[in-house]
């Protein structure tokens, strides 16, 4: 916000010299605010201008960071990274730029705390102030972190990961309810062992990028994502939220035991730049999951997959347009071909906006191995049913009537309106709750949300 100091009486001074009257006019920022900044990690740099709004030259006697060298904030004044600059001469209508950043010192505080300072601007006997505000948050800071034995993370402080998080073969990382995991841009999660997420509806486990400042906190591709390698097994994510990654979840190879390689229950995968769920010859079971607003939501190349009461949807938004099929199924990946595929979608919604994508489920069969697709009581958009698919009581090309979609305001509520054709259109699947942990009663509703 710019604050304008309006003169209260006539400025009487020669136009050939400097304006010296205390009522001279300048404009400047009233306040510079930063969103949450993790301790020891710097913020983005913000800036504002100090403008001489007079028709004569003006001398700014000083621009000073009031907290000096001890301040959490740092300033740069027209290229000078110092806490104070004196005697700045501005031509009429000219300006000087002040750049501000903040780094929060480590603290034992477990909750966000407010950091304040100000910049004093002196001219013609006046001093005005730009207020500086930032919320700081302490955290567990881990760099190139290796989990080599069974480990449990509790919800005491956030976890901020740089370089990467690696779960070794034979080890299990258990993340308890309410944990918040913030990944740096260079930090993938590579699971060679097991990953267990024990979130609840009230305290979900959230994994996202570590830039929380405006312009970055909702940016897709903020971090690489999670990879479950060929040796990984017994992975189970409950009430997890994985967002803003490049590729959210990648699984490689089949399960090592009787259980699926990866179970997803009541999970959200959202705002993913490339692919939400990418699987190569693997085995995944997903129940009550929302996979939304991805470059490509699901890509399955061979393997066995069961999706029950899932909503798979993308809408054109600020970051990318919906131009790729929501679900792509093939029997080939990299240099491997002719891999048997078995994919079942029961009581699901597979729906995207616009008319660019004619078939939201696309198949590509190259080999002679089994290629089995079952669409069971599923609502989806298509101009041509996949030739390999078997259908049971599906709803085709009917808008599911999601509760609220407002691209401009970034509102994507995939719950169902009362008039939705998906309400009561499902088949009994033994699933008693939905993504919100609400009880499913009566006829089964399609998708991850049951009607209220």
How distant, in Å, are the alpha carbons of 2, 67, 128, 270, 334 from that of 31? 8, 16, 12, 33, 53
Query: Is there a domain that residue 59 lies in?
Result: yes
Query: Is there a domain that residue 207 lies in?
Result: yes
The residue range of the domain holding 305 is 139-416
> What's the rounded Cα separation, in Å, for the pair 215 and 351?
28
Query: Is there a domain that residue 423 lies in?
Result: no
70, 105, 136 - which closes a domain: 136
- Digit-by-digit pLDDT tens for the chain (452 residues) are 444 444 443 444 444 589 999 999 999 999 998 888 887 777 778 999 999 999 999 999 999 999 998 898 999 998 899 999 999 999 999 999 999 999 877 665 666 778 899 999 999 999 999 999 988 888 888 999 999 999 999 999 999 999 999 999 999 999 999 999 999 999 999 999 999 999 999 999 999 998 887 777 889 999 999 999 999 999 999 999 999 999 999 999 998 888 899 999 999 999 999 999 999 999 999 999 999 999 999 999 999 999 999 999 999 888 888 889 999 999 998 878 889 999 999 999 999 986 678 899 999 998 889 999 999 999 999 988 888 999 999 999 999 999 999 888 889 999 999 999 999 999 999 999 999 999 998 899 999 999 87
Tell whether 287 and 399 lie within a shared domain: yes
Tell whether 334 and 186 lie within a shared domain: yes
Tell whether 27 and 117 lie within a shared domain: yes
Query: Is there a domain that residue 403 lies in?
Result: yes
Tell whether 144 and 279 lie within a shared domain: yes
Tell whether 308 and 326 lie within a shared domain: yes
Query: Is there a domain that residue 443 lies in?
Result: no
Tell whether 132 and 143 lie within a shared domain: no
Tell whether 112 and 195 lie within a shared domain: no
In the block, residue with structure tokens 């969103």: 35
Query: Quick count: other Cβ atoms within 10 Å of Cβ 287?
Result: 24
Query: Is there a domain that residue 73 lies in?
Result: yes
CB 389 within 8 A of CB 372: no
CB 28 within 8 A of CB 52: no
CB 250 within 8 A of CB 225: yes
pTM above 0.95, yes or no: no
CATH number at residue 77: 2.60.40.10
Tell whether 130 and 148 lie within a shared domain: no
CATH number at residue 390: 2.160.20
Tally of domains within the chain: 2
Tell whether 108 and 157 lie within a shared domain: no
């Amino acid at each position: 916000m710019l604050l304008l100091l309006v003169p209260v009486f006539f400025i009487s001074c020669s136009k050939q010299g400097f304006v010296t009257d205390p009522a001279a006019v300048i404009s400047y920022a009233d306040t510079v605010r930063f969103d949450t900044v993790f301790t020891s990690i710097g913020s983005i740099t913000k800036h504002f201008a100090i403008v001489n709004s007079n028709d004569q030259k003006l001398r700014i006697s000083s621009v000073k960071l009031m907290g000096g060298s001890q301040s959490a904030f740092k300033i740069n004044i027209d290229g000078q990274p110092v806490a104070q600059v004196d005697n700045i001469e501005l031509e009429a209508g000219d300006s000087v730029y002040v750049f501000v950043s903040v780094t929060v010192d480590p603290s034992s505080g477990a909750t966000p705390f407010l950091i304040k300072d100000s910049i004093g601007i002196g001219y013609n006997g006046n001093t005005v102030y730009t207020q500086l505000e930032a919320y700081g948050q302490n955290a567990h800071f881990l760099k190139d972190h290796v989990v080599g034995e069974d480990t449990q993370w509790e919800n005491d402080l956030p976890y901020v990961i740089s370089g990467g998080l690696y779960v070794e073969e034979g080890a299990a990382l258990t993340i308890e309810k309410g944990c918040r995991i913030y990944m740096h841009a260079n930090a993938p999660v590579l699971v060679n062992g097991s990953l267990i997420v024990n979130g609840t509806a009230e305290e979900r486990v959230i994994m996202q990028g570590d830039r929380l400042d405006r312009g970055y906190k909702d940016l897709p591709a903020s971090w690489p994502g999670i990879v479950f390698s060929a040796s990984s097994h017994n992975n189970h994510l409950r009430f997890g939220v994985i967002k803003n990654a490049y590729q959210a979840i990648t699984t490689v190879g089949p399960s090592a035991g009787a259980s699926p390689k990866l179970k997803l229950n009541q999970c959200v995968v959202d705002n993913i730049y490339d692919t939400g769920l990418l699987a190569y010859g693997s085995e995944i079971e997903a129940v009550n999951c929302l996979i939304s607003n991805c470059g490509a939501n699901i890509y399955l190349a061979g393997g066995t997959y069961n999706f029950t009461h899932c909503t798979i949807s993308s809408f054109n938004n600020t970051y990318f347009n919906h131009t790729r099929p929501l679900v792509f199924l093939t029997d080939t990946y990299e240099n491997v071909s002719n891999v048997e595929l078995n994919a079942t979608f029961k009581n699901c919604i597979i729906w995207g906006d616009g008319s660019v994508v004619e078939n939201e489920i696309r198949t590509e069969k190259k080999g002679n191995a089994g290629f089995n697709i079952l669409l069971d009581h599923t609502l989806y958009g298509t101009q041509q049913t996949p030739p390999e698919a078997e259908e049971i009581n599906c709803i085709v090309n009917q808008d599911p009537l999601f509760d609220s979609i407002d691209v401009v305001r970034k509102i994507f509520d995939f719950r169902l309106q009362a008039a939705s054709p998906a309400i009561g259109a499902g088949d009994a699947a033994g699933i008693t709750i939905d993504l919100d942990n609400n009880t499913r009663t009566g006829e089964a509703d399609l998708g991850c949300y049951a009607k209220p």
